[in-house]
Amino acid sequence: MATQSLSARTMELLIAYARNPSIKLRNQLVELNTGLVRKVAHQINRQCAEPYEDLEQVGFIGLIRAIERFNTRSGCAFSSFAIPYIRGEMLHYLRDQGSVVKIPRRWQELHTKGKKLQKKLTIALGRMPKDLEIANGLGVSLQEWRECKLALQNRLLLSLDARVGSLPDSTATLEDTLVDPRYHLMQNWQEDRQQLHGAISQLEEKTQVAIEFVFLRDLSRKEAAKRIGISPMTVTRYLHRGIDQLSGLMQQHPQAA
């Protein structure tokens, strides 16, 4: 199934599930979004000793929780909303299992080379090099270099009560320095919302109105049809057409990484 059709079908099922929750609809949503779970499971599996299959099963719990809590009127893309839930379930599982992050030998060697290259580039450029410059110098992708750095940074288990700062009377702890994950979620939600509104503005007027009444104002299709002055069947056609067009527009203008 094409990404565009998958996104449209997911949103359609999420709206139906929000109005009338059922095991059948939930299972359909889980099946459609299995790829999200597998993607996160593969990422985390490279950094821990737990079997991929166990991570995948735990990830489905996070996906189900995301389905239960997703607000179809928020304007947030479901994938952006669901991934933190999926990842969070896996990390909680690893914490409960007492698993320690394992660092592949390749990444250990890559990190050592990267630190040496960073010093050389700093001298040559007169500034701290960007991740992309280091990755290019090492002959690896930007994603691998960032994952390598993150893995090495997280290899030591520190207490959240540990004090940070060089001043003797400093009371700041490591926990105080951690960014609230809800901030990133809200930031992503705001970006997705802006992108969605921009895409909606490109639709024809009647399609915009139909989407606004049904999805944003939560009117029934019958009520929306009465206000617009068309039949409920025509509203349904506008909605299907609008969802397909929105999915295409959102895919054409993905957010910058």
Nearest to residue 119, comparing CAs of 110, 111, 128? 128
d(CA 184, CA 136): 28
Q: What are 207-254's pLDDT values in tens digits?
A: 888 888 887 777 888 888 888 888 989 988 888 888 878 777 666 554
Contact 100, 156 (CB under 8 A): no
Contact 214, 224 (CB under 8 A): yes
Confidence at residue 194, expressed as pLDDT on a 0 to 100 scale: 62
Q: Taking all residues of the chain, what is their mean pLDDT, rounded to a whole number?
A: 76
Contact 238, 206 (CB under 8 A): yes
Nearest to residue 105, comparing CAs of 157, 42, 148? 148
Q: What are 193-217's pLDDT values in tens digits?
A: 666 666 777 888 888 888 888 877 7
CA angle 155, 158, 160 (to 5 degrees): 135
**pTM for the complete prediction?**
0.42
Confidence at residue 164, expressed as pLDDT on a 0 to 100 scale: 42
d(CA 192, CA 189): 5
Confidence at residue 156, expressed as pLDDT on a 0 to 100 scale: 43
- Name the 3-class secondary structure at 197: helix
Region 56-81 average pLDDT: 87
Region 43-58 average pLDDT: 82
Max mean pLDDT among 32-46, 83-97, 177-191 falls in 32-46
Query: Could you give the percent of the chain with pLDDT greater than 70?
Result: 72
Nearest to residue 211, comparing CAs of 14, 75, 66? 75
Torsion of CA 167, 152, 159, 180, to 10 degrees: 80
